[in-house]
Amino acid sequence: MGGGGMNFARGLALGSNGPGGGGAGANRGGLATSEEDFGKAFDPRVIGRLWRYAAPYKKRIMVGIVLLLVYGISQGAKLVAGEEEAGTLELELTAPVTRTGTYVERLVALWLGLLTLVAAVSVTMIVLSVAIPLDLSGTNILATGALMWLAGGLFATLALAVGATTGRRSIGLGVGAGAAVLMYAFNALGPLTGWSWMTTVSPFDWYLGADPLATGMDAARAALLLGCSALFAAAGYVGIGRRDLMV
């Protein structure tokens, strides 16, 4: 047998009968190395460095507001105007209830629905921040969730108010969605153009401009969001009260 054959045979012998159980030992050694590498990859210090690198993009990963807007605006436009177009609102108003009272009930239901979604997002973020050390404060996550709720509620209330005033779901949906897109554009373009007024009037800046994940709740910004929502809600209340719903 040549030198190559001898070496091959010697390798087989060592693999089956060598120290540590041979082949199984070699496999365990490779597995141990893999486990060590896996552990190093999830070392809190490594995660911390990655999170610091990603920190400038915290605002962009808050995609929850997009989902909240889609739900809120579509529901806001549907709750009064959509039911009116379907003919169910007039049937409901034949009962001993007022149209303004029905409007308030729809408004409360809309905000409670938004709160449920925000609570789910916030709890998920808190769990992830505990499971993976991301150096995020639970209080700041809740503050961000509260501002998200107020921002989503603002545009949802606008859609509800316009729909209730006009009786047209499409108009409520168009105005709510159009306002959200326009205000997002203002918030994005303001710093690029140097026109600070664009960000000043944008609810998206009121929501994320102070980086609530890092700084916590900003009462002034929260008051702006809540105040505008209250104005929209009041306008819708007056608008549906003045309309002729044939009941």
Mean pLDDT across the chain: 78
For residue 105, the model assigns a pLDDT of 92
Amino acid symbol at 94? T
Q: What are the residues whose beta carbons fall under 8 Å from the beta carbon of 165, sequence distance 6 or more?
A: 235, 236, 239, 240, 243
pLDDT at 40 over 70: no
Confidence class of residue 81 from pLDDT cuts 50, 70 and 90? confident
Q: Which two tokens stand for residue 43?
A: 């070392």
pTM strictly above 0.85: no
Q: Where are the alpha helices (DSSP H) in the chain?
A: 3-17, 23-41, 44-54, 64-77, 83-86, 88-93, 99-131, 138-166, 169-193, 196-200, 203-208, 212-215, 219-242
Residues with Cβ within 8 Å of residue 47, at least 6 apart in sequence = 132, 133, 134
Section 91-116 average pLDDT = 85
Taking alpha carbons only, the member of 159, 40, 147 closest to residue 107 is: 159
Q: What is the pLDDT of residues 181-212, one digit of tens each?
A: 999 999 999 989 889 999 999 999 999 888 89
| Average pLDDT over every residue of 164-190 | 93
Amino acid at 9: A
Dump pLDDT digits (tens) for 230-246: 999 999 999 888 876 65
CA–CA separation, 195 and 184 (whole Å)? 14
Q: Which of 242, 240, 209, 244 is nearest to 102 (CA)?
A: 240
Whole-angstrom Cα distance, residue 121 to residue 112? Answer: 14
